[in-house]
Amino acid sequence: MGPASRDPEMLRKLLLAGADAFRVNMSHGDHATHAETIAAIRAIEKEYHRPIAILCDLQGPKLRVGAFRDGQAVIRHGSHFTLDRDPEPGDETRVCLPHPELFGLLDKGQRLLINDGKIRLRVIRASDTAILCSVEVGGVISDRKGVNVPDAEVPIPALTDKDRRDLAFAVAHGADVIALSFVQRADDLAEARRLMGGHGSLCAKIEKPQAVERLGEILELADSVMVARGDLGVELNPEEVPPLQKQIVNAARTLGKPVIVATQMLESMIESPAPTRAEVSDVANAVYDGADAVMLSAETAAGAWPEEAVTIMHRIASQVERDPGYKARIHFLETLPDPTTADALSHASMTIAANMPTITAIVVFTCSGSTARRVARERPGVPMLVLTPSTATARRMALLWGAHAVTTRDIGSFEEMIAKGKRMALRHGFGDAGSKLVMLAGVPFGTPGSTNLLHIVTLLGTELKR
């Protein structure tokens, strides 16, 4: 969300064009503006009776250079440039780096990347007061440009004071997902989890090489992950990012954690009403990989064609899913069920749907959403209708592969399960006369984590008339 898309009318258009979740970027704007955006989203959610996920994306500890005497300077290729602790405005030879934790940390030969990698420096010598660098790629450098340190683990917490204030705001305003930026280690997630106090789910943004190296540990503690290709593509060579994207998606899928692929997916649509063919292929490949969600950023936040961008994204995903080879592609990755009743039944539901052409949906009754995540991990060949009494659970399902969530009163008996499952499937377009549904639930009903029941039902012609 941004200036181009937070108007209620535009939000309505984006929802109808295919958006399932809305991202509030805490790096830009103030709390008053974000509160208005969240209120507008919730109003549209109520208008359309459709659960919508709101993801609040924390800025994280972005490193930045200081100011320049003339607002900017030109650094010559092959020259020397110094980053120091002197607060005086910089010039073409030096600038302040107001991050004392970096001094003495860097070694000779390590890289410093400024302004998304447009300026590339190589460390010659580092002390407690200055870092002397050779300029490998020069150019214009201006005030407060970001600094990436790809070759070292920077000893700074993942949450700044601003992030803590923003996280408290997000929790108070009912954000469904909190995205933590610049995660380097599993411990970075612990404080955010504590501050969330059980509200919402935690998404780890993978945008540092150190996070890739510890991906397994981070995935264990996060509720979901985002392949944040912007900074990841700055700190790594560009050719390294596509295989890493597949690696991260596969690791998340194996654990049944939702995975979002983000950044520059339809970048040209910031200014153009149509994407490039390469961008279309990029989005399609993320869908073929089995990602749960694909995300737009500047295209909808500040672009001239936000509705068109969402429409194109939706059309690409739908076209991929109609490809006869799509099912085989997403099942290249084997996701073996854990030795639990819930996992065994989730796997069975996928197998039944694959072998019975008349199955049109898997209906999941859940309180916490855990059974829905298990089913989604299997990537079944039919959509999943998630019925839950929890509004918070229904909203979080918006980021889950193949899930359509409906908030409804809990069931109390087997007969009520059958009747409600049929009624909701018909109401939301998941079947017709003769269609069969796989139903998953837990007995005793209303008990979280008790999934132990799989039942197949047939929709009758007489039920369509009710």
| ∠ CA 302-224-403, rounded to 5° | 85
Q: Which of 6, 23, 257, 422 is catalytic?
A: 23
Q: At what angle do helices 241-255 and 277-289 cross, to 10 degrees?
A: 30
Active site residue 462: no
**Annotated catalytic residue within 46, 64, 76, 165:** 64
Q: Residue 178's beta-bridge partner residues?
A: 56, 202
Of 208, 169, 251, residue with least CA distance to 62: 208
Alpha-carbon gap, residue 110 to 123, rounded angstroms: 5
For 310-408, where are the E strands, in sequence order?
359-365, 384-388, 403-407
Going by C-alpha positions, the residue among 453, 428, 424 that lies closest to residue 441 is 453
Bridge partners (DSSP) of residue 180 are: 204
Q: Which entry of 37, 82, 263, 300 is annotated as an active-site residue?
A: 263
What DSSP assignment string belongs to 180-211? EPS--STTHHHHHHHHHTT-SEEEEEE-SHHH
Rounded-to-integer distance, Cα 451 and Cα 343, Å:
9
The angle at the Cα of 109, spanning 104 to 111, to the nearest 5 degrees, equals 80
CA dist., res. 42 & res. 51, Å (int): 9
- Find the helix packing angle between 31-48 and 161-172, rounded to 10°: 30
Please count the other Cβ atoms lying within 10 Å of the Cβ belonging to residue 200.
23
**Is 277 labeled as catalytic in the residue annotation?**
no
Q: Which of 111, 120, 205, 436 is catalytic?
A: 205
Does the annotation mark 327 as catalytic? no
Beta strands in 12-117 (DSSP E): 21-25, 53-57, 63-64, 72-75, 80-84, 94-96, 111-114
Pairing of strands 436-442, 451-458: antiparallel
18: CB partners within 8 A, 6+ apart? 310, 311, 313, 314, 317
Q: Which residues are bridge partners to 57 per DSSP?
A: 25, 179
Do the beta carbons of residue 117 and residue 234 sit within 8 Å? yes
225 contacts 206 by C-beta, under 8 angstroms:
yes
Q: Shortest CA distance to 159 belongs to which of 137, 189, 139? A: 189
Q: Is the dihedral of CA 173, 263, 187, 97 positive or negative?
A: negative
- 64 in catalytic set: yes
Contact yes or no for 351/378 (Cβ under 8 A): no
Peptide bond into 444 cis (omega under 30): yes
Radius of gyration of the chain, Cα coordinates, nearest whole angstrom: 24
| Active-site amino acid positions | 23, 64, 205, 263
